[in-house]
Amino acid sequence: MSLNGQVCIVTGATSGVGKATALELARRGATVGIVARDPERARLVADEIARAGGGRRADVFLADLGAQREVRRAANEILARCPRIDVLVNNAGVVHLKRTTTVDGIEATFAVNHLAYFLLTRLLLDRLRESAPARIVNVASEAHKFVRGIQFDDIGFQRSYRAMRVYGHSKLANLLFSQELARRLEKTGVTVNSVHPGAVASSLGKNNGRVAQVLIGLLVPFFRTPEQGAATSIHVATAPERTGVTGRYFKNCREARPAAAASDAAAARRLWELSDGLTGLAS
Residue 1 lies in a domain: no
Residue 2 lies in a domain: no
Low-confidence winner among 40-54, 62-76, 216-230, 252-266 (lowest mean pLDDT): 216-230
E strand spans, the chain: 7-11, 31-36, 59-62, 87-90, 134-139, 190-196, 249-251, 254-255
Q: Which residue has the higher pLDDT, 205 or 48?
A: 48
Residue 121 lies in a domain: yes
CB of 21 closer than 8 Å to CB of 10: yes
Domain containing residue 125: 7-279
Residue 35 lies in a domain: yes
Residue 25 lies in a domain: yes
Residue 217 lies in a domain: yes
pLDDT of residue 207: 52
pLDDT of residue 2: 87
Of 117, 161, 167, 249, which is the active-site residue?
167
Give, in order, the Cα–Cα distances in Å from 55 to each of 6, 14, 15, 84, 148: 15, 18, 20, 20, 47
User: What is the rounded average pLDDT of the residues 174-191?
Assistant: 98
Nearest CA to 234 among 14, 6, 28? 28
pLDDT in tens, 196-234: 999 875 555 555 555 444 344 433 444 779 999 999 999
Neighbours of 126 (CB within 10 A): 11
Residue 195 lies in a domain: yes
Q: How far apart are CA 122 and CA 280, in angstroms?
A: 12
The enclosing domain of 114 has a CATH number of: 3.40.50.720
Q: How many independent structural domains does the chain possess?
A: 1
pLDDT in tens, 257-275: 999 999 999 999 999 999 9
pLDDT of residue 199: 81
Residue 252 lies in a domain: yes
pLDDT of residue 222: 42
249 among known catalytic residues? no
User: What is the rounded average pLDDT of the residues 164-179?
Assistant: 98
pLDDT of residue 217: 45
DSSP 101: B
pLDDT of residue 206: 53
Neighbours of 38 (CB within 10 A): 13
pLDDT of residue 210: 52
Query: Exposed (0-12), middle (13-18) or buried (19+): which is 100, by Cβ within 10 Å?
Result: middle
pLDDT of residue 212: 47
Neighbours of 149 (CB within 10 A): 14
Considering the chain, what is the average pLDDT of its residues? 93
pLDDT over 90, % of the chain: 88
pLDDT in tens, 94-116: 999 999 999 999 999 999 999 99
